[in-house]
């Protein structure tokens, strides 16, 4: 059995048995309000909004990984490919009830794309019509931060960013994730 | 048949408006109002003047759809209204196609290009639409068609105002909403 089907089975099972559900519109409207408020606070500086969303996500991810491991009870992934399946089929399933497709691997197995067929964070959303938001704002950028924060806590330094978004008029919503390095345990410098 | 549709906030601020023509019975989806030169202002005037009737009618029963509520005979304009629970008003002005006999006199003032295309299409479509929804603005079928239209627009209105970047009472600029309204018009009217 491939790791992908195994992961989706685990995700399915957990979603049914271990996860507390909340109303999707509550999540959507809350997140939408946060983004809209940030856009207002930073006066339409969308680069800064993206950065803040990523930072928020990072802080969420660092805690969320603990919850994820406690709920899923899965062990260490053998390689980055398995990690990707775990994120897509288990992580996204239990927290957002979606399972993005893992695709576009580079040959060194260090970079992949997550393609989102649906995105509960972006329901109802239409980006502001000011001529810049369509080119600059990554509405769901918090997800990049969540992945970075979560993986950092399990010794993986990654970089994640969106490359396309249906909100901008693209055909798909795609996030690019690249592994920077595995973080080794290091001795503090002054220890004998 | 020509239509003018507008959304008004509870405080009577216009949020959205669109003019379109019927697509059924040989119509081509382009609005052709009785007085093309002044239609834009006249329609707004007529539709807003019916607000008094809306305010009277809205307490008569609990329905959101108020059906045909007002008529303005000089332009033979009929107005139907729909209320959302939060107090937004949807008003639809519909003007049945002109009889071919009046077409020449009414269009003499307008440009010859517009006039000729207007009378040509009115003549060809009048027979097809004589018994259709468009020709009988107060018939039960029309009431039902308009109700379907209003309900569909209402669903899309709800989605539009749920967008986090939309603030209450702001003009609806969404092109998605505009195209949805056009599509609903094409489907039901």
Instruction: Parse chain A into domains and list their residue ranges.
Output: 3-182
* DSSP 8-state class, residue A170: -
Distance from CA of B176 to the nearest CA of A (A): 9
Q: What is the pLDDT, as a whole number, of residue A184? A: 85
Q: What is the pLDDT, as a whole number, of residue B136? A: 72
Q: What is the pLDDT, as a whole number, of residue B133? A: 54
Model confidence pLDDT, tens digit, residues B44-70: 888 888 888 888 888 887 788 888 888
> Does residue B178 sit at the A interface (CB-CB below 8 Å)?
no
Take residue B102 and report the two structure tokens written for it.
């009046």
Q: What is the pLDDT, as a whole number, of residue B148? A: 92
Low-confidence spans in chain A with pLDDT less than 70: 1, 191-192
Nearest to A32 among B164, B174, B176 (CB): B164
Q: What does the alpha-carbon distance between residue A54 and residue A58 come to, in Å, rounded to a whole number? A: 6
Write the CA distances from B132 to A106, A176, B69, B138, integer angstroms.
61, 55, 21, 12
> Does residue A127 sit at the B interface (CB-CB below 8 Å)?
yes
Pairing of strands B65-72, B89-95: unpaired
Could you tell me the domains of chain B? 2-101+114-188 (3.30.450.70)
Q: Extract the runs of DSSP E, i.e. beta strands, from A40-129.
A: 101-103, 111-116
CB–CB of B162 and A124 under 8 A? yes
Distance from CA of A125 to the nearest CA of B (A): 5
Residues 6 or more apart in contact with residue B179 via CB below 8 angstroms: none
User: Is the ipTM beyond the 0.85 threshold?
Assistant: no
Q: What is the pLDDT, as a whole number, of residue A144? A: 96
C-alpha closest to that of B187 among B158, B155, B163, B160? B155
- Average pLDDT along chain B: 77
Q: What is the pLDDT, as a whole number, of residue A191? A: 60
| Average pLDDT of the residues in B155-168 | 90
**Optimal mutation site among A35, A124, A127, A131, interface B, most CBs of chain B within 10 A:** A124
Residues 6 or more apart in contact with residue B105 via CB below 8 angstroms: none
Q: What is the CATH number of domain A3-182?
A: 3.30.1380.20
Q: How many contacts does A have with B, using Cβ atoms within 8 A?
A: 31
Write the CA distances from B8 to A145, B87, B88, B169, integer angstroms.
41, 9, 6, 9
Residue B14 has pLDDT above 80, yes or no: yes
Residue B112 has pLDDT above 70, yes or no: no
Q: What does the alpha-carbon distance between residue B33 and residue B39 come to, in Å, rounded to a whole number? A: 6
The percent of residues in chain B predicted with pLDDT above 70, rounded, is 74
> Does residue A32 sit at the B interface (CB-CB below 8 Å)?
yes
* DSSP 8-state class, residue A188: -
Residue B125 has pLDDT above 60, yes or no: no
Residue B105 has pLDDT above 70, yes or no: no
């Amino acid at each position: 059995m491939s790791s992908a089907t195994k992961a989706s089975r685990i995700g399915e099972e957990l979603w049914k048995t271990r996860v507390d559900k909340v109303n999707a519109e509550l999540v959507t409207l809350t997140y939408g309000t946060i983004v809209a408020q940030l856009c207002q606070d930073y006066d339409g500086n969308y680069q800064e909004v993206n950065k803040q969303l990523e930072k928020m996500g990072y802080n969420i991810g660092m805690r969320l990984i603990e919850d994820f491991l406690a709920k899923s009870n899965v062990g260490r992934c053998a390689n980055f490919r398995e990690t990707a399946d775990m994120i897509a089929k288990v992580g996204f399933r239990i927290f957002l009830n979606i399972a993005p497709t893992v695709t576009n691997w580079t040959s060194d197995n260090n970079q992949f794309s997550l393609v989102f067929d649906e995105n509960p964070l972006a329901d109802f959303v239409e980006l502001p019509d000011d001529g810049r938001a369509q080119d600059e704002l990554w509405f769901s950028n918090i997800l990049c931060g969540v992945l970075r924060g979560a993986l950092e806590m399990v010794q993986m330094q990654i970089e994640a960013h969106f490359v396309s978004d249906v909100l901008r008029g693209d055909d798909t919503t795609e996030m690019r994730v690249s592994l920077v390095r595995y973080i080794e345990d290091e001795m503090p410098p002054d220890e004998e | 048949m020509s239509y003018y549709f507008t959304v008004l906030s509870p405080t009577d601020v216009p949020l959205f408006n669109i003019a379109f023509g019927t697509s059924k019975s040989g119509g081509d989806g382009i609005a052709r109002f009785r007085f093309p030169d002044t239609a834009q202002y006249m329609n707004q005037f007529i539709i807003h003047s019916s607000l008094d009737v809306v305010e009277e009618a809205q307490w008569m029963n609990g329905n959101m759809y108020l059906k045909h509520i007002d008529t303005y005979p000089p332009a033979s304009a009929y107005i139907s209204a729909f209320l959302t629970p939060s107090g937004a008003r949807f008003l639809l002005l519909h003007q049945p196609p002109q009889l071919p006999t009046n077409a020449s006199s009414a269009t003499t003032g307008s440009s010859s290009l517009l006039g000729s295309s207007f009378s040509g299409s009115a003549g060809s479509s009048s027979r097809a639409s004589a018994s259709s929804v468009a020709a009988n603005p107060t018939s039960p079928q029309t009431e039902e068609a308009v109700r379907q239209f209003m309900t569909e627009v209402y669903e899309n209105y709800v989605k539009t105002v749920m967008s986090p970047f939309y603030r209450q009472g702001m003009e609806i600029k969404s092109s998605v909403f505009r195209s949805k309204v056009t599509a609903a018009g094409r489907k039901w009217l």
